[in-house]
């Protein structure tokens, strides 16, 4: 059941991010910067993707990307959906290349490094294709970084708590 919830949440992030951009335009992300309104959802998507990869595997993540993109076509502006689809495809490919080798060294390291690469690639490609401008690049990077750090922190804390509970049961 956990796997299904993670995959559904991940699939929902793609159309949700595009719908937020269409409905709300930009949002503040701190330090005087703004970004397209879906920035926090995309930051969450980067982490959900890693959790989905851990629980469901790479093939399921690729299928989820396709499903999210298809939903975007129905729910959001087609131009944003196309920009988002191309950005996700490239960013996901780059993310896989970073995540897979680093995963052996630890989950949090793999997540942080791959998300750094993924958020940069996604931001550059999406902003250029959607707006033909990098005006929001600092805000995009900052907003996605906030969400990535928050989500990875929660995952690490949950993992430590689970490990402590397992250790207490074993003792």
How many domains are contained in the chain? 1
Look at residue 130 in the predicted model and tell me its pLDDT: 92
Q: What is the CATH number of the domain that holds 104?
A: 1.10.1760
With a threshold of 0.75, does the pTM exceed it? Answer: yes
12 contact partners, CB below 8 Å, separation of at least 6: 68, 71
Reduce the DSSP state of residue 135 to 3 states and report it.
coil
116 exposed, middle or buried (CB, 10 Å; 0-12, 13-18, 19+)?
middle
pLDDT tens for each residue of 107-133:
888 888 988 998 899 999 999 999 999
Share of the chain above pLDDT 70, in %: 99
**Domain encompassing residue 107:** 2-170
**C-alpha atoms less than 13 angstroms from C-alpha of 102 in its C-beta half-sphere:** 17
CB atoms within 10 A of CB 14: 28
For the chain, counts of helices (H) and of strands (E): 6, 2
């Amino acid at each position: 059941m956990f796997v299904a919830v993670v995959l559904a949440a991940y699939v929902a992030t793609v159309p949700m991010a595009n719908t937020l951009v269409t409905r709300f335009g930009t949002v503040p992300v701190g330090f005087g910067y703004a970004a397209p309104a879906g920035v926090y959802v995309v930051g969450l998507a980067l982490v959900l993707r890693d959790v989905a990869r851990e629980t469901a595997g790479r093939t399921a993540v690729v299928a989820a990307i396709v499903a999210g993109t298809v939903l975007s076509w129905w729910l959001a502006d087609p131009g944003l959906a196309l920009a988002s689809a191309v950005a996700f495809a490239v960013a996901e490919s780059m993310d896989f290349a970073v995540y897979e080798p680093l995963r052996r060294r630890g989950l949090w390291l793999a997540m942080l490094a791959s998300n750094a690469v993924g958020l940069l690639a996604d931001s550059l490609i999406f902003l250029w294709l959607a707006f033909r401008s990098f005006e929001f690049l600092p805000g995009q990077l900052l907003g996605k970084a906030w969400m990535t750090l928050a989500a990875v922190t929660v995952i690490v804390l949950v993992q430590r708590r689970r490990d402590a509970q397992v250790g207490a049961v074993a003792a």
